[in-house]
């Protein structure tokens, strides 16, 4: 009996050692939506660097905002031996067949920043608290206009994100929940009448798309010289479109413009007084958290999550880790972005 026990223990240890030894060089797939936006380049680079430092081999792909391309890339990752796949989806609900394949092969999938929808093959989700991003934008406008005390009415316009990205509604809702009482009380008015998410959304989050819509709003509702006090923008790429439109077609007092990501052009606009705030989501923090998750999954350990209720993808509630976003403006950008080494002073010149 003792002999059998010793044999079993030797086998268990050997297997344990084997799996530990093979952790070196294990392949991890990282699928990012596009290289067009600064943030995804940073996310991809950070993930690759940290994973490689931890001893993994990395298959990093960017999908040019093309859903079919991302589907092919993820399918290849799964077929070519990746043991965990990390995906920031272009469209949360368009990767169904690749996710089915991952499930069939027992490969864990981590949704990165954007939730993967309509599938039970999503193991974990890591993101910044998306609703909180919106509340920070809404609160910034509320405080800057002193909506509690000032009489108003103030003119507001709204530009939201891509309807195919599950995050976009959270950003929008977080901000609207803060501003709704003032809209109801008539302290905030939206001259264009475009308030519902579907009316203010920006397909693909593209600067040009946001700019064209803003051009139209300015021409139709503000060409009489009336002012805009605030323009709620869900992120920096859309804020840039709105800023460009205002630069070209608006002479009134400059409105408070919100954003998110602290992209370099937008931080420059913040310094120049053209964008009031952005939300800083330190992609180094998110990448580090996801690399930790990958390690925990592959070691069979409990995976750190801090939210098991919010992110229902229409099939399951995905266990999530939410990092905390912080607001950035001209007063704190240097501390947040320069002192922390996120950017160098030269990059913001």
Among the listed residues 156, 164, 166, 160, the one whose alpha carbon sits nearest the alpha carbon of residue 191: 156
290: Cα separation from own chain's centroid: 14
Place of tokens 């999938």: 109
Place of tokens 């368009």: 94
349: Cα separation from own chain's centroid: 26
**Contact present, 193 and 158 (Cβ < 8 Å):** no
Which residue, 187 or 281, has its beta carbon nearer to ligand BGC? Answer: 281
Classified as helix, coil or strand, 322 is strand
Which residue, 157 or 261, has its beta carbon nearer to ligand BGC? Answer: 261
Q: Is 205 in the site for ligand BGC (CB under 6 A)?
A: yes
Among 26, 42, 114, 116, binds ligand BGC (CB under 6 A): 114
Residue least distant from ligand BGC (Cβ):
235
Among the listed residues 255, 260, 123, the one whose alpha carbon sits nearest the alpha carbon of residue 190: 255
Q: Is 119 in the site for ligand BGC (CB under 6 A)?
A: no
**Contact present, 116 and 313 (Cβ < 8 Å):** yes
Q: Is 165 in the site for ligand BGC (CB under 6 A)?
A: yes
**Contact present, 245 and 220 (Cβ < 8 Å):** no
Q: Is 308 exposed, middle or buried (0-12, 13-18, 19+ CB in 10 A)?
A: exposed
| Cα–Cα distances in angstroms (integers) from residue 164 to residues 41, 87, 262, in the given order | 20, 15, 22
Q: Is 167 in the site for ligand BGC (CB under 6 A)?
A: yes
Which residue, 163 or 252, has its beta carbon nearer to ligand BGC? Answer: 163
Among 28, 32, 37, 291, binds ligand BGC (CB under 6 A): 37
| DSSP 8-state code for residue 312 | B
Among the listed residues 86, 120, 101, the one whose alpha carbon sits nearest the alpha carbon of residue 292: 86
Binding to ligand BGC (CB under 6 A) within 266-305 occurs at 281
Q: Is 327 in the site for ligand BGC (CB under 6 A)?
A: no
Q: Which residues pair with 89 in a beta bridge?
A: none
**Other CB atoms within 10 Å distance of the CB of residue 306:** 10
Q: Per the structure block, which two tokens stand in for 59? A: 């298959």
Among 211, 243, 260, 320, binds ligand BGC (CB under 6 A): 260
Q: Is the peptide bond before 153 cis (omega within 30 degrees of 0)?
A: yes
Among 28, 29, 31, 39, binds ligand BGC (CB under 6 A): 39
Q: Per the structure block, which two tokens stand in for 314? A: 């229409």
| Cα–Cα distances in angstroms (integers) from residue 255 to residues 33, 174, 209, 242, in the given order | 31, 20, 20, 11
Least separation in angstroms between CB 119 and ligand BGC? 18
Q: What DSSP element (H or E) covers 50? A: helix 38-53
Q: Is 235 in the site for ligand BGC (CB under 6 A)?
A: yes
Least separation in angstroms between CB 38 and ligand BGC? 9
Which residue, 114 or 142, has its beta carbon nearer to ligand BGC? Answer: 114
Using CB under 6 A, list all residues that contact ligand BGC: 37, 39, 113-114, 165, 167, 205, 235, 237, 260-261, 281
């Amino acid at each position: 009996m003792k002999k059998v026990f010793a044999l079993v223990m030797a086998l268990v240890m050997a297997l344990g050692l084997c799996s530990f030894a093979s952790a070196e060089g294990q392949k991890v797939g990282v699928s990012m939506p596009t290289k067009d936006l600064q943030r995804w380049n940073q996310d991809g680079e950070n993930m690759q660097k940290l994973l490689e430092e931890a001893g993994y081999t990395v298959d990093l792909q960017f999908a040019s905002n093309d859903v079919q391309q991302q589907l092919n890339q993820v399918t290849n990752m799964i077929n070519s031996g990746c043991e965990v796949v990390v995906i920031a989806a272009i469209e949360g609900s368009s990767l169904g067949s690749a996710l089915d394949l991952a499930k069939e092969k027992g490969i864990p999938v981590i949704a990165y920043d954007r939730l993967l929808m309509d599938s039970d093959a999503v193991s974990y989700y890591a993101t910044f608290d998306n609703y909180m991003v919106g509340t920070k934008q809404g609160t910034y406008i509320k405080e800057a206009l002193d909506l509690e005390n000032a009489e108003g009415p103030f003119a507001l316009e709204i530009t939201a994100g891509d309807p195919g990205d599950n995050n976009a509604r959270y950003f929008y809702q977080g901000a609207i929940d803060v501003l709704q009482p003032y809209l109801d009380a008539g302290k905030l008015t939206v001259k264009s009448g475009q308030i519902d998410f579907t009316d203010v959304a920006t397909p693909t989050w593209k600067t040009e798309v946001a700019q064209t819509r803003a051009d139209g709003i300015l021409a139709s509702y503000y060409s009489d010289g009336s002012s805009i006090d605030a323009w709620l923008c869900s992120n920096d790429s859309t804020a840039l479109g709105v800023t460009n439109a205002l630069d070209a077609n608006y002479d009134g007092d400059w409105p408070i413009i919100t954003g998110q990501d602290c992209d370099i052009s937008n931080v420059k606009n913040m310094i120049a007084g053209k964008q009031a705030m952005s939300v800083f989501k330190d992609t180094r923090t998110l990448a580090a958290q996801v690399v930790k998750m990958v390690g925990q999954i592959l070691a069979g350990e409990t995976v750190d999550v801090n939210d098991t209720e919010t992110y229902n993808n229409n099939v399951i509630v995905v266990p999530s880790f939410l990092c905390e976003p912080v607001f950035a403006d001209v007063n704190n950008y240097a501390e947040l972005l320069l002192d922390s080494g996120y950017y160098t002073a030269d990059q913001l010149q």
